[in-house]
């Protein structure tokens, strides 16, 4: 790992826990978090990835890798679930220490580990459960649609936790962790929705490199009606397949064909809002 960043949210969250006297819980959660992120790092190395940067949040972290996982759904799935798996193994080991627990510290660690594991398995981005489920969905649908589904799940999970936090508050048992988790999920769902094209552009870059590595890939053909834009096709692309796009004119006759390589070049050139028909016409004029 080349660099480590501690988020302001992390500092504020644990400062609040210490301020209200939850020292044992703070130590337990930090230790569980270290084990959790360690699992991700080891899994990334096992998949041939290098962790360039780790941004630590109160209930998880975000790794910047030297490899884009958008076209490697299997690797993303394994790396995502490695963190919760590490917490589960740590809980199993800690169970043996329960009889010797000093002032309930091991019990506190087990509770923190299970809480961290359960939270990160929620089907919401950027949590592990959201990434793992998106990698599964991307096998059957486009990466764009899979991301949109997970954003909707993120809003749902955030709202449910928010209602639970308010209910606990009204019952006289406020839980700052649930409030923080709700805010974290809702905030990240908004960020993911505003920046929905960012992972798609990352996807384009990773597609270029993936196409160079694979000697053989399964191919699909897409048929585009008049008026369909270049970026619209990107929303239909699935990992580990190669696409050719048949473009129709106003009479619904074949106007021309675009390869995926040509499509990606158009997107990287900043012409994603152009219609496919215009792109095919321009390519035909260049050949002449």
Reported as a single tens digit per residue, the pLDDT across 56-87 is 887 777 777 766 666 677 888 999 999 999 99
Sign of the torsion angle spanned by Cα atoms 75, 77, 78, 79: positive
pLDDT per residue over 151-188, tens digit each? Answer: 999 999 999 999 998 888 888 777 777 888 888 899 88
pTM flag (> 0.75)? no
Distance CA 68, CA 41 (A): 15
Residue-range domain boundaries for the chain: 3-202, 214-287
pLDDT at 10 over 70: yes
Q: Work out the average pLDDT over 28-47.
A: 91
pLDDT per residue over 212-245, tens digit each? Answer: 666 666 778 888 888 888 778 877 777 667 788 8
The architecture in CATH of the region 214-287 reads Roll (3.10)
Position 42 scores a pLDDT of 92
Averaged pLDDT of the chain: 82
Contacts 24+ apart (CB under 8 A), 220-227: 220/244, 221/245, 221/246, 222/246, 223/248, 224/248, 224/276, 225/252, 226/250, 226/252, 226/275, 226/277, 227/275, 227/277
113 vs 249, residue with greater confidence: 113
Both tokens of 253, joined, read 């006759």
pLDDT at 101 over 90: no
High-pLDDT (> 90) share of the chain, %:
22
Q: How are the residues of the chain apportioned to helix, strand and coil, as percentages rounded to the nearest 5?
A: 65, 15, 20
Distance CA 263, CA 221 (A): 13
pLDDT per residue over 115-131, tens digit each? Answer: 999 999 999 988 999 99
């Amino acid at each position: 790992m080349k660099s480590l960043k501690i988020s302001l949210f992390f500092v504020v969250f644990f400062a609040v826990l210490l301020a209200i006297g939850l020292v044992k819980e703070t130590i337990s959660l930090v230790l569980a978090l270290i084990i959790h992120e360690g699992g991700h790092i080891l899994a990334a190395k096992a998949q041939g990835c290098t962790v360039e940067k780790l941004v630590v949040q109160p209930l998880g972290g975000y790794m910047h890798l030297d490899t884009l996982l958008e076209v490697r759904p299997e690797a993303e799935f394994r790396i995502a679930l490695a963190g919760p798996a590490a917490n589960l193994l740590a809980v199993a080991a800690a169970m043996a220490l329960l009889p010797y627990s000093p002032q309930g510290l091991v019990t506190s660690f087990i509770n923190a580990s299970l809480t961290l594991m359960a939270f990160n398995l929620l089907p919401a981005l950027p949590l592990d459960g959201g990434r793992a489920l998106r990698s599964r969905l991307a096998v059957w649908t486009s990466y764009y649609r899979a991301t949109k589904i997970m954003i909707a799940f993120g809003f749902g999970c955030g709202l449910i936790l928010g209602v639970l936090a308010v209910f606990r508050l009204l019952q006289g048992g406020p839980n700052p962790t649930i409030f923080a988790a709700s805010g974290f999920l809702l905030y990240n769902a908004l960020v993911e929705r505003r920046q929905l094209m960012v992972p798609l552009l990352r996807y384009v870059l990773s597609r270029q490199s993936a196409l160079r590595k694979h000697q053989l890939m399964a191919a699909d053909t897409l048929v585009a009606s008049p008026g369909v834009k270049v970026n619209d096709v990107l929303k239909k692309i699935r990992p580990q397949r190669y696409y050719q796009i048949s473009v129709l004119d106003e009479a619904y006759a074949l106007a021309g064909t675009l390869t995926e390589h040509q499509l990606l070049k158009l997107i990287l050139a900043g012409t994603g809002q152009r219609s496919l028909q215009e792109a095919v016409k321009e390519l035909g004029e260049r050949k002449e």
